[in-house]
Amino acid sequence: MIENADLTLVDWSRAQFALTAIYHWLFVPLTLGLSFILAIMETIYFKTGSEEWKRITRFWMTLFGINFAIGVATGIILEFEFGTNWSNYSWFVGDIFGAPLAIEGILAFFLESTFIAVMFFGWNKVSKKFHLLSTWLVAIGANLSALWILVANAWMQNPVGMAFNPETARNEMVSFWAVLFNPVAIEKFLHTISSGFLLGSMFVLGISAWYILKKRELYLAKRSMLVAAVFGLLSSLMVAYTGDSSAKTLAQVQPVKFASMEALAEGKTNAGLIAFGILKDSEVRVGERVMQDFVFKIEIPGLLSVLTGGDRDIYVPGIADLVSGNKEKGILSVSEKRERGKIARDLLIEFQDARAADDKVKTDSIKTLFSDTQFQDNYFRYFGYASVSKAEDVIPNVQISFYSFHLMVMLGFLFIIIFATAIYLLYKGDIEINRWFLWIALLSIPLTYVASELGWILAEVGRQPWIIQDLMTVSGAVSQIVSGSVITTFILFALLFTLLLVADVSIMLKQIKTGPKH
Amino acid sequence: MKNGSAIFARVFRFYYEGFRNMSGWGRKVWIIIIIKLFIMFAILRLIFFPDFLKKKFDNDKQRSEYVMDQLINSR
């Protein structure tokens, strides 16, 4: 498949999807995080009856509303792209992708659109209790919507709970619960929403810091900061915890991605965790691919082995093991996986021939085989490898994987320090005089977006060449359309989304400058 | 029946008044939402994003045969 694919078409289709997803993700995490911060603020208003807290809640609700309105439905474009640019993929995934997305659509529409109206139009029209409930339901609804999208994405990282039907050329869901409780899905969901909480908290912290720097709205700013700092610290700790458990699962289900994000060319026991490193080309080659070494690194000895398996003696496979295989450690090589994938593919060829010859006995027996779990685990699981021409093609871009992961982690630790410092300064009561910190808080807003996008870059670039891990390559998933049309829509999207972003930022800045109503 | 229509009228009034009394930023974002949805569904979806398999084939059997062919004949 990789040999046959029109790389211009594949690259432009990928670029278009990446552009759409990156822009979409500029709006989503703020919705996820700010919605909960609003719910917390309104709960304080409900408990205290303080009109100041109502004013605070309504101010942040305005910014939430702008972001929500501009960002809403930007994700639908991704679904357009599935049908047009990724038709082989869309067909192959069948209802596994459709079911979670349908649930997401229904939840998003009914929960968010119903209660968001109460949130904005319902002040002084519905009871305080019902209004508060609506705000909480918007927060829960927005985050539950994210769950279903992430379940679908997690299936691409770790396909489970399905059987391939050769008759329809589609995967069919055999266990909804296996798809929902896919370990990758649960960890991805918790990691993603907590990173959204973190981003929302930094947004509130940074804008509040700006008000203090400008000596405006001090009451609103300090109280907002307190909520944001506490919620932000808890969220950033949760991000670190869920990031660690995600990495452990990754080591099991996507070991090449895991080795790439640590630039681990050769496997070892007592493997160290790279805290900081600068890469250079190494002497080691895997096939034609040059591996990476370090110009400089700060390494914590043994920690990678401990984090992945709880013991320094745990062997962490490197890229070379995963490509060339390691019999001693029970790791299959790419060529062995390719042979197994080819067996599954040859059976599909036999199925096609039998169907053409109207040989029902044979088609039925092949169909039964594809629903057998042993066959799935030993052969169909490696189906995508049949399309891989060179073993080293399964290695993603190591530099992008490594730097995106390490920069994300470093920023994550920086955010923990920022939130903890904010709590300390607020507790001491001298946050106003520490202008350096206020500037750091303000300037950290864009850094949270950078960290959030880096997480997705690692998830998606690190999975290459797969669109569905081990089952389907990106080049095999693409529709055979004219690349010129993809380039045209890429440019259209770039313009549309840039306009939306400019509108979002300018309306929001205007509201921030205007400040809350008195 | 009478109760049902009263609830409907209340909900309608709730939305009507909400939109009528909307602030400046609210009106602005609603204009953006409408323009955005129009561009997405009336222009992008209809002109630039046809469903490839639906457009190319008449039925699911043909579509599945085509995808199967794509899956197995690429080496």
Which pLDDT does position A4 carry in this prediction?
Answer: 53
Name which of B72, B42, B26 is nearest A342 in CA terms: B72
Which pLDDT does position A287 carry in this prediction?
Answer: 85
Of B29, B39, B65, the CB nearest to A66: B29
In a domain, A372, yes or no: no
Alpha carbon distances (Å) from A243 to A202, A240, A246, A249, A452: 19, 5, 5, 10, 12
d(CA A283, CA A292): 8
Q: Say if residue B44's pLDDT is above 80.
A: no
Q: Which of B27, B38, B43, B49 is the mutation pick for testing A, counting most A CBs within 10 A?
A: B49
Non-local (6+) Cβ contacts of A82 within 8 A are A89, A90, A97
The helix (run of H) or strand (run of E) holding residue A298 is strand A289-300
- Residue A387, chain B, CB below 8 Å: the answer is yes
In a domain, A317, yes or no: no
Which pLDDT does position B1 carry in this prediction?
Answer: 55
Is A170–B64 a contact, with Cβ atoms under 8 angstroms apart? yes
Q: What is the 3-state secondary structure (H, E, C) of A234-248?
A: HHHHHHHHHHHHHHH
Q: Which of A20, A80, A164, A505 is the mutation pick for testing B, counting most B CBs within 10 A?
A: A80
Name which of A44, A47, A68 is nearest A220 in CA terms: A44
Q: Which of A17, A85, A496, A505 is the mutation pick for testing B, counting most B CBs within 10 A?
A: A496
Which pLDDT does position A1 carry in this prediction?
Answer: 45
Taking the CA of residue A508 and the nearest CA in chain B, the distance in Å comes to 9
Both structure tokens of A24: 């979409």
With contacts defined as CB-CB under 8 Å, which chain B residues touch A507? 25, 28-29
Contact between residue A360 and residue A281 where contact means Cβ atoms under 8 Å apart: no
Which of the 8 DSSP states describes residue A358? T
With contacts defined as CB-CB under 8 Å, which chain B residues touch A509? none
d(CA A222, CA A230): 12
With contacts defined as CB-CB under 8 Å, which chain A residues touch B33? 69-70, 72
Sign of the Cα torsion A369, A371, A375, A376 reads positive
pLDDT band, residue B74 (cuts 50/70/90): low
Taking the CA of residue A355 and the nearest CA in chain B, the distance in Å comes to 11
Rounded to 5 degrees, what angle do the CA atoms A259, A262, A264 make?
Answer: 55
Name which of A483, A442, A515, A28 is nearest A202 in CA terms: A442
d(CA B57, CA A237): 51
- Report how many domains make up chain A: 1
Contact between residue A473 and residue A466 where contact means Cβ atoms under 8 Å apart: yes
Taking the CA of residue A174 and the nearest CA in chain B, the distance in Å comes to 20
Is A507–B28 a contact, with Cβ atoms under 8 angstroms apart? yes
Domain that holds residue A232: 7-257+394-510
d(CA A477, CA A467): 7
* Axis-axis angle for helices B2-20, A113-121 (nearest 10): 60
With contacts defined as CB-CB under 8 Å, which chain B residues touch A354? none
Contact between residue B37 and residue A74 where contact means Cβ atoms under 8 Å apart: no
Which pLDDT does position A424 carry in this prediction?
Answer: 96
Is A80–B49 a contact, with Cβ atoms under 8 angstroms apart? yes
ipTM of the prediction: 0.82
Taking the CA of residue B1 and the nearest CA in chain A, the distance in Å comes to 23
In a domain, A327, yes or no: no
Of B23, B39, B70, the CB nearest to A88: B70
Is B72–A511 a contact, with Cβ atoms under 8 angstroms apart? no
In a domain, A33, yes or no: yes
Work out the mean pLDDT of chain B and round it to a whole number: 82
d(CA A118, CA A134): 6
- Residue A494, chain B, CB below 8 Å: the answer is no
Of A5, A72, A479, the CB nearest to B52: A479
In a domain, A330, yes or no: no
- Residue A121, chain B, CB below 8 Å: the answer is yes
With contacts defined as CB-CB under 8 Å, which chain B residues touch A479? 52
- Give phi and psi for A226, each to the nearest 5: -65, -45
Q: How many CB pairs under 8 A join A and B?
A: 119
Which pLDDT does position A407 carry in this prediction?
Answer: 96
With contacts defined as CB-CB under 8 Å, which chain B residues touch A31? none
pTM of the model as a whole? 0.90
Alpha carbon distances (Å) from A344 to A44, A365, A376: 59, 13, 9
With contacts defined as CB-CB under 8 Å, which chain B residues touch A345? 71-72
A478 three-state secondary structure: coil
Is A70–B53 a contact, with Cβ atoms under 8 angstroms apart? no
Name which of A162, A14, A265, A246 is nearest A471 in CA terms: A162
Is A120–B14 a contact, with Cβ atoms under 8 angstroms apart? no
Of A66, A122, A348, the CB nearest to B68: A348
Is A1–B74 a contact, with Cβ atoms under 8 angstroms apart? yes
With contacts defined as CB-CB under 8 Å, which chain A residues touch B70? 88, 476
Both structure tokens of A427: 């507790």
With contacts defined as CB-CB under 8 Å, which chain A residues touch B44? 77, 80, 489, 492
Q: Which of B7, B14, B25, B43 is the mutation pick for testing A, counting most A CBs within 10 A?
A: B25
- Please tell me whether the peptide bond between A465 and the residue prior to it is cis, using omega within 30 degrees of 0: yes
Question: If you write DSSP's letter for every residue of B13-46 in order, what string do you get?
Answer: HHHHHHHHT--HHHHHHHHHHHHHHIIIIIIIII
Is B26–A511 a contact, with Cβ atoms under 8 angstroms apart? no
Q: What are the pLDDT tens digits along chain A (518 aa)?
A: 444 556 688 889 999 899 989 989 999 999 999 999 999 999 999 999 999 999 999 999 999 998 888 887 777 888 888 888 888 999 998 778 777 777 777 776 677 778 888 998 888 889 999 999 999 999 998 898 888 889 989 999 999 999 899 989 999 888 889 999 999 999 999 999 999 999 999 999 999 999 999 999 999 999 999 999 999 999 999 999 999 999 999 999 999 999 999 999 999 999 999 999 999 998 888 888 888 889 999 999 999 999 888 888 899 999 999 999 999 989 999 999 999 999 999 999 999 889 888 888 889 999 898 888 899 989 999 999 999 989 999 999 999 999 999 999 999 999 999 999 999 999 999 899 999 999 999 999 999 999 999 999 999 999 989 999 999 999 888 888 888 888 888 888 888 889 888 988 898 899 899 888 76
Q: Which of A61, A88, A93 is the mutation pick for testing B, counting most B CBs within 10 A?
A: A88
Is A168–B28 a contact, with Cβ atoms under 8 angstroms apart? no
Which residues 278-337 in chain A show a CB within 8 A of chain B?
A: none
Both structure tokens of A61: 């609700």
Which of the 8 DSSP states describes residue A326? B
Nearest CA in chain B to A85: B52
d(CA A208, CA A196): 18
Question: If you write DSSP's letter for every residue of A207-271 in order, what string do you get?
Answer: HHHHHHHTT-SHHHHHHHHHHHHHHHHHHHHHHHHHHHHHHHHHHHH-HHHHHHHTT--S-BSSP
d(CA A296, CA A322): 25
Which pLDDT does position A481 carry in this prediction?
Answer: 82
| Cα B73 to chain centroid, rounded | 36
At position A426, the amino acid (one-letter code) is: L
